[in-house]
Structure 1
């Protein structure tokens, strides 16, 4: 897109809009941005163009080829001529944000939004990342100078203080959850009042709620699970990764733990029961029982197809484990592993048996957290096999699970700026004699 890398939206109001052939389409009426549930700058969705008939229509930002000080140009492609209707999860930057009363975060001073700056990112999205504000002094004879602040330095907009916005219903909150990472959704869910938190949890589908619960601190996990009826709690545990489900169940009273395991489908509860046999600070307690496992007669193409699964984390997708049947853990005899990077260099119809890394080290299930950490540091891996004494693959440990146990227990509640420079020893490690 041509034009200035940063644009102030007040300058766009009323500008003429031209089509790809130079024909006049209308004029800019407003800018539409998406409400966010975290404090990051909102993404610009498009512009509202007022046609000569005075009908307002929505034009996506993908159709905008240039934003200049004198005009806006559109690319070829179809645009809906339906009358624009604002959604509850959207904000009109000119009509609703400019002239809004806000607070400056650093000084808590009252201010008024004078303008908003939007900028294009490396991903080619536009975001509203700057606000021009004027501090309100209460003195009619004197006007404060305009300050240009980062979006995160301003409080009081519906976008950043959404957790306090009681006018948004549950459905609007759910719509705002779309497109954000589970970790970000978990942060928002944790900040909601308990009643709203439970409403949102009840309305989320099982898979999405499971993803969010995995990102919550331990106490919040237990609180949400206790809120759900036991049948749905069991469904959520089934949707979670087995190692995360085992970690959560290990924190519950034994009676509750057993009832939930009984309510789970046997094929889902069996790997969780196996993980519960291991201490949380061992390779067995850290591992996932569902790595990518193939037999030696599989082709490189088959291995790459498994690696491409969107359900895999990048760490699990970095390696394919080759074993004799059965392929479900605990597998038949473990033969070795193939790195995804190696698969990319081989002909697709070659067998994986020919590219196995047979010399790669493996861990035992009782390896301590300190041993697992040294293993990853020594071999520069992000995923590693866990094998028993009879050479059966039990699962795989990924580096993200190791970090999860090395960081302080409350790391999910801390902002990046609040994170200590050296991880503290968690209370659970102290209890295990690892202070």
Structure 2
């Protein structure tokens, strides 16, 4: 281990992790410590590292050879790739201790944990030796300036306190800033249930909707059940209609209908249409909100629509052209324009002049197998779904297909369990 005297866990979270030969292994997502009942600083057991596959593994602290400002380096040896599971009396420093409520021993003042400092000992162990906290002052509990005290100088947090008291989430949310929704979802899955709910309550609706879309079915249902009905309906409105339909299809008829009634009609209508189809058909897989333009739209207009940052890369790869109306189900489907073609044409030209009218269309009844063969045959990532009367109903993207092709529970379990040399 390098001559590092103190590292704060909140700053360590998110750092890249490298093997001894410089190969990148993943990122630090949390610190695991063992709580002790004798008021001694908890011993740091290791780090939770998230691999490129989003699997979270445990790396013992003795394997960490250096901690720098921008990276953590491991020593040689094998790394166990089994999914990390928290054990009794273990605490996740970032996930559970930040934002915890504590009492300053000397003054009796209430404070909130802002960060936790890790320090090495003479025996090469690391302990949680310092607590950065903000005392709560005034009638409204405003937080004062940050001060650093010894672990022994605060009462709590212990296992009982963590389970019993409400806890904020501001510092934890700070660590999520800049992370993709899928990575935040993986972080939530690693948290205890109580902490997961607190984070969900603190996230805004748009962010929480994005995160829920990346969770497995059981975790989605669990979080939705935790929310009150009004907020659950708001979250469903913020989700992509196809993801909202998939989630509602997992609920009881009573719960599904109650939430649909609470949603705004313009938001619930496309979801209701999707629920009419089998979940493993083109109609059930599609999104009802692809890019749709009239034939007199220009290439410039099409490119402007494609640039929408809210679109996934797959959905932005193709523009569909129809007669009015442009909302699905649209007027008569005329054809599509691939994004690469848009980039090669003068911006003032009309999309009607560059239509691909030969590309096969998927009927809403097409099975998952048929949809998969379609993508393989045409080398596409997006496909039109058109009914028998030539109305565009929506578009299927390859990411929706993969979600249904991968083994059940792949988000939670990863794709392998093994060991690798670092």
TM-score for the superposition, normalised by structure 1: 0.65
Partner of 2:348: 349
Distance in structure 2 (CA, Å) of the matches to 1:310 and 1:233: 25
The answer to whether the Cα contact below 8 Å between 1:131 and 1:149 also exists between their aligned partners in 2 is: no
Return the offset for 1:110. 6.7
Q: How does 1:298-377 map to 2 (within 5 A)?
A: 298-377=297-376
Partner of 2:245: 246
Partner of 1:166: 97
Return the offset for 1:255. 1.1
Gapped runs of 5+ residues in structure 1? 1-7, 14-28, 43-88, 92-99, 119-126, 133-146, 420-435
TM-superposition CA deviations, 1:214-233 (whole Å, max 9, x none): 01110110011011010000
The answer to whether the Cα contact below 8 Å between 1:295 and 1:327 also exists between their aligned partners in 2 is: yes
Partner of 1:379: 378
Partner of 1:53: none
Answer with 218-227 or 109-118: which moved more. 109-118
Partner of 2:13: 36
Partner of 1:255: 254
Distance in structure 1 (CA, Å) of the matches to 2:261 and 2:58: 55
Return the offset for 1:303. 0.3
The answer to whether the Cα contact below 8 Å between 2:2 and 2:65 also exists between their aligned partners in 1 is: no
Return the offset for 1:191. 1.4
The answer to whether the Cα contact below 8 Å between 2:59 and 2:79 also exists between their aligned partners in 1 is: no
Distance in structure 2 (CA, Å) of the matches to 1:40 and 1:161: 19
Task: Please say if 1:116 is aligned against 2:67.
Answer: yes
Q: Considering only aligned residues, what root-mean-square deviation do their CA atoms show, in Å?
A: 3.4
Return the offset for 1:409. 1.4
Distance in structure 1 (CA, Å) of the matches to 2:47 and 2:8: 23
Q: How does 1:261-280 map to 2 (within 5 A)?
A: 261-280=260-279
Partner of 2:72: 129
SS in 2 for 1:260: helix
TM-superposition CA deviations, 1:172-202 (whole Å, max 9, x none): 1111111111111011111111111111101
The answer to whether the Cα contact below 8 Å between 1:101 and 1:112 also exists between their aligned partners in 2 is: no
Return the offset for 1:414. 2.0
The answer to whether the Cα contact below 8 Å between 1:104 and 1:111 also exists between their aligned partners in 2 is: no
Assess, with a 3 A threshold, how the Cα gap between structure 1 residues 172 and 117 changes in structure 2: closer, same or farther.
Answer: closer
Distance in structure 1 (CA, Å) of the matches to 2:60 and 2:302: 58
Assess, with a 3 A threshold, how the Cα gap between structure 1 residues 30 and 174 changes in structure 2: closer, same or farther.
Answer: closer
The answer to whether the Cα contact below 8 Å between 2:320 and 2:336 also exists between their aligned partners in 1 is: yes
TM-superposition CA deviations, 1:358-380 (whole Å, max 9, x none): 10110000001111111111111
Return the offset for 1:418. 4.0
TM-superposition CA deviations, 1:306-356 (whole Å, max 9, x none): 001100000000000000000000000000000000000000000000000
Partner of 1:398: 397
Distance in structure 2 (CA, Å) of the matches to 1:36 and 1:302: 42
SS in 2 for 1:111: helix
SS in 1 for 2:172: helix
Distance in structure 2 (CA, Å) of the matches to 1:199 and 1:32: 20
SS in 2 for 1:199: helix
TM-score for the superposition, normalised by structure 2: 0.67
Assess, with a 3 A threshold, how the Cα gap between structure 1 residues 186 and 288 changes in structure 2: closer, same or farther.
Answer: same
Return the offset for 1:388. 0.5
Partner of 1:50: none
Distance in structure 2 (CA, Å) of the matches to 1:318 and 1:260: 33
Distance in structure 1 (CA, Å) of the matches to 2:72 and 2:65: 14
Return the offset for 1:35. 3.9
Distance in structure 2 (CA, Å) of the matches to 1:241 and 1:288: 7
SS in 1 for 2:62: strand
SS in 2 for 1:197: helix
Distance in structure 1 (CA, Å) of the matches to 2:297 and 2:47: 60
Distance in structure 2 (CA, Å) of the matches to 1:331 and 1:177: 39
The answer to whether the Cα contact below 8 Å between 1:246 and 1:276 also exists between their aligned partners in 2 is: yes
The answer to whether the Cα contact below 8 Å between 2:65 and 2:74 also exists between their aligned partners in 1 is: yes
Distance in structure 1 (CA, Å) of the matches to 2:357 and 2:17: 48
How many residues were matched structurally? 315
Partner of 1:20: none
Query: Which structure would you say has the larger RCO, counting Cα contacts within 8 Å and 6 or more residues apart?
Result: 2
TM-superposition CA deviations, 1:154-188 (whole Å, max 9, x none): x99xxx95466424441111111111111110111
